[in-house]
Amino acid sequence: MQEKPKIVVARTRRTEAPAKTFVFTAAMVPASGVLADYRQKAWQTFNRLSLPSMTEEAWRRTDLRELPADTVHLPIDGAFRDLAPVPADLLKPLTADKHGGQVVLLPGGAKPYLSPGLINKGVIFTDLHTAERENPELVARMTGQTVSPEEGKFAALAGALSQNGVVLYIPKGVTVEQPLNSLLWGPGVDLAYLSHILVWVDEGASVTYVHEAASPDENGPALHAGIVEIKVSDNASLRFVELQSWGRHIWNFSHERVSVGRDGNLDWIFGAIGSRLTKNFSELNLVGEGATGRMSGFYFTDGYQHLDHDTQQNHLAPHTTSDLLFKGALKGHSRSVWQGMIYVAVGAAKTDGYQANRNLVLSPNARADSIPGLEILADDVRCSHGATVGKLEQEPLFYLKSRGIPEKEAERLLVEGFFDPIMQRIPYEGVRARFQQAIHEKTATQ
């Protein structure tokens, strides 16, 4: 009898560097103002929670071991004066000819503007600090309305120390025609950008809001952690365009949740082309009967980018409708993760939920993970999902080239064709043009 070869595995200790720790201190937590208590509690939560590790389901595919926690600091007041200025292109309106208001968040500062017409209508649209001073009750009411610092280390960090943020309130019945825009501009290295966005579209009101986070590419790391809390009240309507154009050095984390009331409507558009690493939690809570929400995501990664989007569509009332489509293309050594869940609560009958994620992997070294999920606790519902990861096919490419279209351009046409279903869902030419531009730039590089 032949003896089985014995395999000896040397017990090598995994040389894991000790988890780096953040250098923030209790003294940095603003002690006064209407949010003092909230921040103090968030700070305690931040200290209590450890950095997420890959043993946690939500973080299984996103590795934070190289997170530069110990080197990032809060920007000092007026830091923007010594850093790269905002490119004029980022201030142009994308969804109409003209903005009704614009809030620019800078490192250590903010520049809010709202048209007099909208001020007269009672609209509030400004940066967080200004709102804390001028509208403390509203800010107190909106903070924690949909996201809790308890949700994770980064939510707690943003809750405790957010230096910057946006507060948007549309009073009952007010229809805002001109879109509102905010830009979080985050140049520089070794900085921690912590932002907190609060939106409340009150009963019967409606608005289009575009928020972009952006920075130039820099040599050296930086971090962004943010909270986005949005409430769309009964019969209200929000079109929310969220663009992530961070430089390739940014470690980006966000916790975002929108709750939609009875017969309310949300159209949520995501575009993600930047950052070194992103972990984003985006949740839709349909809390009122007849509420509807649509989520449309565009992402395109290259180099060593890693984008991880965690989406959740929660049907918490009957007759609610959700429709999610995320489409992404990947190049280089980049990686994307999409993990989606449709949850239908007990009693949420006659709901209609849909989710689909489609990925186009353009390089043999890129990888896309697509993980749909359904959890249905009600009867009489319609829920379905789809997830695909594919490559560019040779025959279409040959067909295009046989008409004289050079290889790169043929590839780009096919990528554009792939993204077309997302473009069809975006009613704003400016936003589509931005995505087209990203496709052009990313397909042109090797």
Partner 1 sequence: MSELVIKNLHVSIENKEILKGVDLAVKQGEIHAIMGPNGTGKSTLAFTLMGHPSYMVTGGEIWFRGKNLLELATDERSRLGLFLAFQYPVAIPGVTVANFLRSAVNSRRRLVTPEDKGMPILEFRKMLKEKMELLKMDSAFAGRYLNDGFSGGEKKRTEILQMATLKPEIAILDETDSGLDIDALRIVAESVNVLSGPELGVLVITHYQRLLNYIKPQFVHIMLGGKIVESGGPDLALQLEERGYDWVREKYEETPA
- Among residue numbers 414 through 443, which ones bind partner 1 (CB under 8 A)? 414, 416-421
Residue 364 within binding range of partner 1, rule CB under 8 A: no
Distance between CA atoms of 179 and 241, rounded to whole angstroms?
10
Stretch that binds partner 1, among 3-11, 91-99, 354-362, 392-400 (CB under 8 A): 392-400
Stretch that binds partner 1, among 48-56, 241-249, 277-285, 413-421 (CB under 8 A): 413-421
Distance between CA atoms of 441 and 444, rounded to whole angstroms?
5
Distance between CA atoms of 142 and 87, rounded to whole angstroms?
31
Distance between CA atoms of 395 and 313, rounded to whole angstroms?
37
Least Cβ distance, residue 313 to partner 1 (angstroms): 25
Least Cβ distance, residue 414 to partner 1 (angstroms): 7
Q: Residue 333: phi, psi to the nearest 5? A: -105, 25
- Among residue numbers 107 through 166, which ones bind partner 1 (CB under 8 A)? none
Indicate the residue among 189 and 413 with the shorter CB distance to partner 1.
Answer: 413
Q: Which helix (H) or strand (E) holds 48?
A: helix 36-48
Least Cβ distance, residue 44 to partner 1 (angstroms): 50
Strands (E), 155-232: 164-170, 180-185, 192-201, 206-214, 222-232
Two structure tokens written together for 45: 């939560």
If one counts every other C-beta atom within 10 angstroms of the C-beta of residue 13, the result is: 5
Indicate the residue among 201 and 410 with the shorter CB distance to partner 1.
Answer: 410
Residue 413 within binding range of partner 1, rule CB under 8 A: yes
Stretch that binds partner 1, among 60-68, 295-303, 409-417, 438-446 (CB under 8 A): 409-417
Indicate the residue among 291 and 439 with the shorter CB distance to partner 1.
Answer: 439
Q: Which of 50, 78, 398, 444 binds partner 1 (CB under 8 A)?
A: 398
Distance between CA atoms of 151 and 131, rounded to whole angstroms?
24
Least Cβ distance, residue 425 to partner 1 (angstroms): 13
The DSSP-derived string for 53-64 is -TTSGGGTT---
If one counts every other C-beta atom within 10 angstroms of the C-beta of residue 309, the result is: 23
Alpha helices in 346-428 (DSSP H): 394-401, 407-423
Q: Which of 2, 120, 394, 446 binds partner 1 (CB under 8 A)?
A: 394
Least Cβ distance, residue 406 to partner 1 (angstroms): 5
Q: Which helix (H) or strand (E) holds 10?
A: none
Indicate the residue among 81 and 408 with the shorter CB distance to partner 1.
Answer: 408
CA 417 and chain centroid, separation? 24
Indicate the residue among 91 and 392 with the shorter CB distance to partner 1.
Answer: 392
Indicate the residue among 74 and 410 with the shorter CB distance to partner 1.
Answer: 410
Residue 395 within binding range of partner 1, rule CB under 8 A: yes
Indicate the residue among 70 and 407 with the shorter CB distance to partner 1.
Answer: 407
Q: Which of 30, 189, 405, 436 binds partner 1 (CB under 8 A)?
A: 405
Two structure tokens written together for 270: 């995501």
Our separate counts of H helices and E strands in the chain read 8, 20
- Among residue numbers 162 through 191, which ones bind partner 1 (CB under 8 A)? none
Q: Report the interface residues with partner 1, using CB under 8 A.
A: 394-396, 398-407, 409-410, 413-414, 416-421
